[in-house]
Structures are given as structure tokens and as C-alpha cells.
Amino acid sequence: MNPVLEVIGVTRRFGRLEAVKDVSFTLHPGTVTGFIGPNGAGKTTTLRMCATLDLPDEGEVRVAGRSAIDDPRAARRVIGFMPDAFGAYSNTTVSEYIDFYARAYGLRGAERRETIASVVDFTGLGPLLDKETGALSKGMKQRLCLAKTLLPDPRVLLLDEPTAGLDPRARVEFRDLVRGLAQLGKALLVSSHILSELAEFCDSVAIVERGRMVAAGRIDDVGGKLRMSQKVRVRTLVECRRTVLFLAEQHGVRDAQELEGAAVFEIDGDERHLAELLAAMVSAGLGPVDFARESVGLEDLFMRLTGREGA
């Protein structure tokens, strides 16, 4: 499937500060990608460049195969951007707000009415149409902004910290909306600091630090691609202590220890190394009966990739 958004070697400088350096990634339809990085890592700058709100000093952003730098107007028809902070207009109801943006996106007549009805239905704003936008809660404002973003039916959605400041219920509801959008075939790039939350609905991650892309890909693949260490839990027929001693002598194995009747350790390398270790355990007569990799959590992955484990 062709990517709908391609960010290719993008660099952005502010004076001497290199806010974004040679960042590349792609988004495909129907996927949700978490865009992760500490404060000041260049996430918002990258998102703004993707949204055509800023220009890269170098590199290219392609939206649906066309350069967003050469033709930002065309790109804006495909991209929806939801900034992290935005205000609602005073003296304006939800219905007027949505109607205004529908007109601003060039929707006319019946098409506008149908689109508004569909977006209001999807975001659940129906009961609030006559309410003033200034009186909405943070969660409802996020929904309103999402509704506005969905009006031109964008194929790519860039959401900058969409759940920041939301209460748990609003977060769950927003997460469901994001999932629903992915099912509709849209490509979503969601930046957030709440990594556990991203892990719940992201297929992939793009991790940036100090303006550089540290890793990008499916969450499970990123560790493997970067030859990350993996945590393994093994139970054997022999005494656990003997298993731990055996593992401690093996190449690439670290931190082998006994935990709740099983040996737990970390091993550098990919699945081939794991297979070799398992074969060695069988050959040594340890009798492994349970050999399981512990899944890599997003927070764990982020902390390791950004070199802050144990910090």
C-alpha cells in the first residue's frame, strides 16, 4: 500500500538551533503511529512542517505523492492538523463553529450539510450544537477541534498531544475515536507524552530526541531492528539456581536472576540468538519447559532508545 505521508530527510533550523535534523518516516492508510519524544525534541515542529504550517530548511514532505512544499494548498486538502492548544471563538455556538469551518473548507450546499451531520454524529457533538464554544469542557473542545479537522475528510490526521489535560473518561472516549478513524482508513500520527496510552492504540512509533529520529517502525519490530536487548523468562526441570548459573555464563546474556521460581534474564540480539540459547539449554540437559519473551513496553522502549534507562 502506498504511503499517504512521506517525510524525507527533513531539517529545520531556528538560528543556530537545529530543532529537527534529517527526520524521515512514512505513514500508511489505516495505521496509527505514535510520535514520541521528550519536550523540545522537535515533535511539534515536525508536525507543523507536515501540516504545511512551517517550511523545512532541507528535505521534503510528500502528501499523497505530491510535494507539500511545492503545493501546500493541495496538501491541506489531504491533511488534518489538530494543534495541542487552541482557543474557541467567543459568541459562537458549536453549530456555528462547525458551519463556519465547513464553509472555510469550501463545502457548499447539500454537501456541507451532509458532511456536518456525519462529523457531528461521529464525534458525538449532537447534544452540544447550541452550546457556546467558550462554555465547553476541555474534552468537548478537543472533540470540537477534531470535528473541525474531519470536515474536509482528510486522509492524514496529525494530532499534537490530543489527550493532554483530559480526564480519564475523555481520554478513553478520544482513544475510541482514534481507533474508529483508523478503521475508516485514515493514517494518524499522534504525538503524546502518555506512552502507556499510545501503546493501547498505536500500531507503530516514531521516536525523536533532540531533533533526530531515534527509531521508527512497528513497536515490536523497533527493538529487534535496533538489536535491542530482550527480557526472557524461563522455567526448567532442574533447580532454578543451576539454570541462572548456566545463563550467566552464556554470551550476550545479562542480569540473569531468580524470580518467582523462574530464571529471568536479558539477552542482546535477535530471535536467532534466542533460538541458539534455547538449543544450548536443551543440550546442557536443563530441560526448559517454559521459555517466554516479555513483550517490550512502549515506555520501556522509549526510555531505552533515548538512553535514559535508570536515569
When asked if residue 31 is in the footprint of other proteins (CB under 8 A), the reply is: yes
Report the alpha-carbon distance of residue 27 to residue 5 in Å, rounded: 5
State in angstroms the smallest separation of the CB of 300 from other proteins.
19
273 near other proteins, rule: CB under 8 A: no
Nearest approach, Cβ of residue 189 and other proteins (Å): 9
> Which one of 62-70, 117-125, 231-239, 290-298 is the stretch in contact with other proteins (CB under 8 A)?
62-70
The torsion angle over the Cα atoms of residues 100, 102, 108 and 113, rounded to 10 degrees, is -100
Binders of other proteins among residues 130 to 149 (CB under 8 A) are 145, 148
Site membership for other proteins, residue 25 (CB under 8 A): yes
End-to-end CA distance of the chain: 40
Task: Give residues with Cβ within 8 angstroms of 68, minimum separation 6.
Answer: 50, 52, 61, 62, 74, 75, 79
**From 101-109, 119-127, 233-241, 285-293, span contacting other proteins (CB under 8 A):** 101-109
- Rounding to the nearest 10 degrees, give the CA dihedral for residues 75, 174, 199, 216: 10
Q: Which residues 6+ apart lie within 8 Å of 283 measured at CB?
A: none
Contact between 183 and other proteins by CB under 8 A: the answer reads: no
Q: For other proteins, which stretch binds (CB under 8 A), given 37-45, 67-75, 227-235, 268-276?
A: 67-75
- Cα–Cα nearest to 202, from 93, 302, 298, 301: 298
Q: Does 118 bind other proteins (CB under 8 A)?
A: no
Name which position in 17, 40, 65, 103 contacts other proteins (CB under 8 A): 103
Q: Does 10 bind other proteins (CB under 8 A)?
A: yes
